[in-house]
Structure 1
């Protein structure tokens, strides 16, 4: 059962203003409605991941450039997706992709997907982050662990994804005690398969566990056969925006 481990988190459980982190829609040509909805006035977005073609692609994509530009013009942070493949990707591969994201799409930071979690991999990830911050001093860096990593990772990223998975696991998940040493804005939860009737419960769990950024969707992951559950809008997009947003202009 989720629990609070500090007075800081006790305050967050009732007063924390949650925001949304979008882990990456399908290509703008395939999901024009989704990308369009992200610029809706009042949508409480912390960041949106841009994944052109399992990374930045081989050449600039004008459709992705346009989509990213609209978001950035709306003061919405755009993050380029970098795949660490749990430590199998080399330093050079990751940094090369990061350069292309910056050069082609002027991203505001990076989502390091499939980031390793072990203590032994931390020095190399620190080296990667040093290079990423060298591209832009104010780069926002999110580690896409999907589970609680060794605590030292919290010292070199702006945010950690400490849960990514199905609602059936999330509703019984527990928060690691060391997270109480950090404010909620350092943690993100990505949950798929959340039924509309359980949306309020999911929001309660996120606040209770001290996560400041969330993404909940009713889309399900069918063993990869129908693509990622993150590729399209949740069926209750309007409801989730109204529940956690500052107000929506219809």
Structure 2
């Protein structure tokens, strides 16, 4: 079965155990799951997230540690500390850098972060720009998120859909699939859309 879903599921395992169980059950379709205990790794290990991450890894799923980069404003050392905590506390074998700049003048900063992420054990690196970035970013990561937003906006645009691109779409109707090979479309809306599972995860295991 093709692994095409990159899932940011920002819910605590004790609050949504059925959701995490659904992801484990859907392992053959998952490109990876973004782990985000506290807008990053948090200040101390969370046993519930450690257990959930362990179940995903045992099922053969990539676990990507979430780190906010604040469009280049967050200090390099803080981002790297997040990634090291994800690795040490949750066994993350990848990294998902959020709020990544799109302009070429930020490339040196993100090049350093990419090198540090690889050194911290990130076999898979995803940069979430949320919009099409300068072409120079393609050499830094395995995937670039070139769209993140609601379905109503997505259907009026033609965002780039190269093999190394990923689209994350929320407020999406059932049956909709983004144009990229690796993607995620969820029904969630409002300020917390990534607290819902993708449509492609079978309803019976939600």
TM-score when scaled to structure 2? 0.92
Q: Which runs of 5+ in 2 are unaligned?
A: none
Tell me, yes or no, if structure 1 residue 142 matches structure 2 residue 90: no
2:188 paired with 1:219: yes
Q: Is 1:194 the counterpart of 2:172 in the alignment?
A: yes
- In 2, distance between residues paired with 1:111 and 1:132? 10
| 1:69 and 2:54 correspond | yes
Equivalent residue pairs, number: 204
Higher relative contact order (CA 8 A, sep 6+): 1
The alignment yields a C-alpha RMSD, in angstroms, of: 2.0
1:232 to 173, 196, 206: 196
Give the SS at the match of 1:30: coil
Deviation (angstroms), 1:139: 1.7
Q: Alpha-carbon deviations, 1:180-203, whole Å to 9, x = none?
A: 5xxx2x11111111122xx2xx32
Is residue 162–residue 187 contact of structure 1 (8 Å, CA) maintained in 2?
A: yes
Query: 1:33 is matched with which residue: 5, 13, 18?
Result: 18
Larger Rg: 1
Runs of 4+ in structure 1 over 6 Å off = none
Q: Which residue of 2 aligns with 1:48?
A: 33
- In 2 relative to 1, CA 150–65 (structure 1 residues): closer, same or farther, beyond 3 Å? same
Q: How far is the alpha carbon of 1:64 from its aligned partner?
A: 0.4
Counterparts of 2:18 and 2:7 in 1: how far apart (Å)?
A: 14
In structure 1, what is the Cα distance between the partners aligned to 2:200 and 2:86? 31
Q: Where does structure 1 lack aligned partners over 5 or more consecutive residues?
A: 1-16, 242-247
TM-fit CA distance, 1:72: 0.2
State the shift of 1:98 in Å: 0.9
Give 1:40 deviation, angstroms: 0.9
Equivalent position of 2:155 in the other structure: 171
Q: Relative to 1, partners in 2 of residues 1:41 and 1:145: Cα closer, same or farther, differing over 3 Å?
A: closer
- Structure 1 equivalent of residue 117 of structure 2: 132
SS in structure 1 of the partner of residue 49 of structure 2? helix
- In structure 2, relative to structure 1, the CA distance for the partners of 1:171 and 1:41 (3 Å cut) is closer
* Structure with the higher fraction of residues in helix conformation: 1
SS in 1 for 2:67: strand
Please say if residues 25 and 35 of structure 1, whose CA atoms lie closer than 8 Å, have aligned partners that are also in contact.
no
Counterpart contact for 1:192–1:229, Cα < 8 Å: yes
**CA 41–165 in structure 1, closer or farther in 2 if over 3 Å, else same:** closer
